[in-house]
Amino acid sequence: MVDLSQYLPILIFLFIAAGLSALFVFLPMGVAWLTGAHQPDAEKLSEYECGFPAFEDPRSQFDVRFYLVAILFIIFDLEAAFLFPWAVSLDMTGWTGWITMMVFLGELAIGLAYAWKIGALDWE
């Protein structure tokens, strides 16, 4: 027979995490309902980001350049995320780790040069 008592702390942790998550989600909703903050009026429904009504349908398609810039941002953000652990563990990885990272950075530089050449970074 398997002794499952060693999993009891994990189970307790999961119940506490689920309870706190539910509390953080439902407590603000309950407070808003009790205080009457859930009743929108004309002021609450007005535009708040730019200060003036939208000119066109908000469900219109975006230009593909928005997506290209977002993808390039994610790629170079991940590059930075990979550089920190690499720099910390460089003494353990040695020349193999250094060469591998240089190949990775080279591929990213070629990708950036290609994106620059086709005009993905140009904004009209």
pLDDT tens-digit series, residues 31-57: 888 887 666 777 666 666 565 666 666
pTM metric for this prediction = 0.46
Look up residue 56 and give its amino acid.
E
Question: Hey, what domains does the chain have and what are their CATH numbers?
Answer: 5-118 (1.20.58)
H-type alpha helices, the chain: 8-35, 64-88, 90-118
Ramachandran category for residue 113: left, alpha or beta (phi over 0 → left; psi -120 to 50 → alpha): alpha
